[in-house]
Amino acid sequence: MRPALALLIALFASSCASPLNVAVGPAAWPLRGTPASDASAIHRRPLVVKVANDPGARPQTGIADADLIIELPVEGGLTRLSVVFQSKDPSRVGPVRSARQSDLNYLPTLHAILAHVGASESVTKMVRDAASSGG
């Protein structure tokens, strides 16, 4: 019983402590971590552009301005890039490719808008359903 009483007293005493003074720094872009000149802008929805990553597609255009790049495997040992822009708008990005079912795994987490060129019929339906439900 004594250990429980000691724990209760310690919890009570710590709840009476004064709050920590934590300095809040300048607003930062959540995906990049760099300072944002406009604090309200950090809440804008990211744009995800599907970009080819096969050897014939390189060098890609516009990916150096991305806040985040996600490389995802596709068929035949190739990969595609999901290029995420939030802190600045790209002037040009490409080559743009089709959406994949795997894109639906991370898009809701980012609350992002997806830019792509085509998709299979089943993936198109899933993308539309996700968009209409706010995903």
Say which CATH number the domain at 51 has.
Answer: 3.50.90.10
Which residues, 6 or more positions from 100, have their beta carbon under 8 angstroms from its beta carbon?
A: 50, 72, 74, 80, 119, 123
pTM score, whole prediction: 0.77
pLDDT value at 1 more than 60: no
Which residues, 6 or more positions from 131, have their beta carbon under 8 angstroms from its beta carbon?
A: 114
**Sheet-wide strand order for 68-73:** 68-73, 79-85, 47-52, 113-115
Domain count, the chain: 1
- Residue in 116, 115, 82, 80 with CA at minimum distance from that of residue 98: 116
E strand or H helix that includes residue 121: helix 121-132
**Range of the structural domain that residue 117 is part of:** 2-132
Reported as a single tens digit per residue, the pLDDT across 76-130 is 999 999 999 999 999 999 999 999 999 999 999 999 999 999 999 999 898 888 8
Cα–Cα distance for residue pair 10/17, rounded to 1 Å: 11
pLDDT value at 48 more than 80: yes
Residue whose entry in the numeric block shows the structure tokens 């929805």: 45
pLDDT at residue 100 in the model: 93
